Amino acid sequence: MKKFNLEHNFEIKNIYEYYAKWIREGKLKVNSNWNKDLKIKFTVQDPCQIVRKSYGDPIADDLRFIVKSVVGEENFVDMQPNKSNNYCCGGGGGFLQSGFKDQRLEYGKIKDEQIKATGADYCIAACHNCHAQIHELSEHYGGDYPVVHLWTLICLSLGILGPNEREYLGEDLKEVNVFHPETAL
């Protein structure tokens, strides 16, 4: 809208901004107590379209605020470089579906090495393309780090992640804060 100077009477926002706002206001009551004793380490991927190409470091800061709120500040390990300077994972812009798998995996090798350098147990991806690409990178290069969606950790921290919503979690998180809807009635 801004780029092409189109008239509009609304503001374009990203869901990360809302998550951060709702957490700060106490409307989204996440907590990191589930990870206090487990001390599982997490890093986060900055999606190119959302961070570098659209909203910049302020949205990356909101993303980190959310992550620290759900896993614990002491359990967050940032990649280097990060935010607007982070490396692309190689899955966006249609590359994931392009058919050039070997090239995509080769391009993504720097992202795999960057994640491994953090020593984190998990990589959080808030973008579906990033999630799919980084998951494949971990398998291809033997990274042994699960890739988890941001909303999965938000739900886990709220105690509302059901047993059938844990596909991408490692064994260490399969039974943490499991919500059983049949017993919640």
22: in domain: yes
CATH number, residue 55: 3.40.50
Antiparallel, parallel or unpaired: β 122-125 and 147-149: parallel
9: in domain: no
Number of domains in the chain: 1
8: in domain: no
30: containing domain: 15-183
42: in domain: yes
C-alpha span between 5 and 109 (Å, rounded) = 39
Residue 11 sits at the vertex; the CA angle it makes with 7 and 14, to the nearest 5 degrees, is 135
According to the model, what pLDDT value does residue 94 have? 79
4: in domain: no
118: in domain: yes
94: in domain: yes
7: in domain: no
C-alpha span between 137 and 109 (Å, rounded) = 7
Burial grade of 33 (CB within 10 A; 0-12, 13-18, 19 or more) = exposed
Per residue of the chain (185 residues), what is the pLDDT tens digit?
777 888 888 888 899 999 999 999 999 999 999 999 999 999 999 999 899 888 899 999 999 999 999 999 999 999 999 999 999 999 987 788 888 999 999 999 999 999 999 999 999 998 999 999 999 999 999 998 999 999 999 999 999 998 889 989 999 999 998 877 777 65
- Dihedrals φ, ψ of 12, to 5°? -90, 125
